Chains A and B, each alone.
Chain A
């Protein structure tokens, strides 16, 4: 169907498409004079300058574009969907329910973070937050594709055609972006939770959960570093940034509690999943250390009543879903 031959008749580009990036990237920081990795050579040397790392999110020619497929990149969401369709990846009901939770967390967070692109305090942050959003979206697609295999549903069936009460995300992830400090506070909590969670889950007795988590933990490692650096900068920057960082933490901290609540699912599924309470000590220690370094207090607010894992959400999720789902629902059954 796609003609080849004359140069004019070729379809654009030359490689298969797909969102796929390898996990490698240089750390992205603010513009404080240390942007060594960004930009072409300033010297008068040879044409090799463009082989340097030109943008903050890629390293080397093999990952030149965020939109380029990386051959051999293991376990893309598409691979999981294929395995699900072929019947070679079918989670138990309990594992599927668990994957749905983690997938929803990541999806809602990606949706929130995506809003920052073109609105960041600097271009470097447009790239960094975009990067994190993309990683989260990738994790969401993997978890949802796998969960859907239990019920004959695709990632898109689950993302676009469930109602609010069918979402299993925790309240933290649906909290509005607020200012940059609030987003960083949410991000700091999210990454401090997801990092040990995925690390432990990579030892799951369910091979697919283990594989998804093993890939995700490398990316969340960077998310944790990114948010930690910003907590330190904002906490120790100016009076205003400190005031905003404190407010951001206070606004987000009530949603920590829900992340570590156990319910019958964990006991029921056994060693395929990570028991939420088992992660709480590490979370407290790690976040406490960073906040202490930034000379910030761990907020003492009472924890909010959660309920996300049972489909009870805050006032915010409905709007988020309305926006996310509107186009897909306008054309039910269409392919894109």
Chain B
């Protein structure tokens, strides 16, 4: 029995190595190393949690959106993010961790979500800056993940990236409208760009020199580019598009380095990043509190749905038995 298992594992391991070497896809039923599974669950659930917590700053403006068209677009966007969360939780469940477990981990503070959502959305222009910069950074991060070695994750990313690009365009349009509006509107837009710039750059994670988990992820074809490579790409995109907006990036050191062939930016405050990560950002407590409240307030509804479903299936069984 044990021998048979060992043989299967050996075959699975060989298959895994071949799949990675050929840059092909691992599927849920395939053998995979425990570390690989663990790393995926961590990354994918963190991603799912980010979609869900990330709804909060934008929800804050749905009821106050300044035109009905913008209200509709914002509502649809936030609803998309809920869909992304659902989709990613389902993809993660293929690795054997249930959504309930992931939710527990989030609510217990054991699982992370993207730090950026611990900053407050204090003006309407933040709806523009979040779409343009935060969704923009997400796309930069996620496009390479469309080729991630784990099939369900890669496929989820293909789907999600399509929607994220709409979000980014809509954010850009909000800023464009503001920057070509009244002086007060333009100032609002500039202020939002100033506040979201550094946090959005830090969404790519710590500098390569300080990123311990990246090596394995790269070897497993989950991660394709380093944090700094992606960040540099993102800065380049911002630097070009900000000209169309006729706004400025709050970083005089942004430039294209001809010799290195890549975009560079000024120093980032990694101390602040660590503080926010450690739970001491402006909104950490608020975000978790809201998530917990929704979960707790909804408990009786979920219980009712489960009880009703159980009664229904019991009734169906009885009916089926009588018929037979």
Residues of A within 8 A of B (CB): 1-3, 6, 8-9, 11-15, 17-19, 21, 29-35, 38-45, 47, 49-50, 54-58, 64-68, 77-78, 107, 111, 114-115, 117-127, 130-131, 133-134, 137-138, 140-141, 144, 155-156, 159-160, 179-180, 232-234, 236-238, 240-241, 244, 323-324, 326-328, 331, 334-336
Contacts and interface: CB of A to CB of B under 8 A. Distances in A.
A80 B228 CA distance: 48
Contacts of B173: 17
Nearest to A30: B305
B76 A66 contact: yes
A233 B294 contact: no
B298 interface: yes
B52 A123 contact: yes
B244 A45 contact: no
Contacts, number: 286
The SS class assigned to the B binding surface is helix
Contact of A134 (B30, B79, B86, B185): B79
A30 B86 contact: no
Interface of B: 25, 27-30, 52, 55-56, 59, 62-73, 75-80, 82-87, 89-91, 93-94, 99, 124, 132, 136, 151-152, 155-156, 158-159, 162-163, 165-174, 177-178, 181-182, 184-185, 236-237, 239-241, 244, 290, 293-294, 297-309, 311
Contacts of B293: 119
Contacts of A234: 301, 304, 308
A324 B64 contact: yes
Contacts of B73: 17-19, 67
Contact of B168 (A3, A12, A47): A12
A334 B298 CA distance: 40
B166 A137 contact: no
A130 B76 CA distance: 8
B86 A56 contact: yes
A130 B86 CA distance: 14
Contact of A30 (B158, B165, B237, B301): B301
A30 to B, nearest CB: 3
B83 A58 contact: yes
Contact of B300 (A115, A155, A236, A241): A241
Contact of A121 (B241, B297, B311): B297
Nearest to B65: A327
Contacts of A236: 308, 311
9 contacts: A14-B169, A21-B76, A31-B302, A44-B29, A44-B30, A127-B82, A137-B75, A138-B72, A238-B304
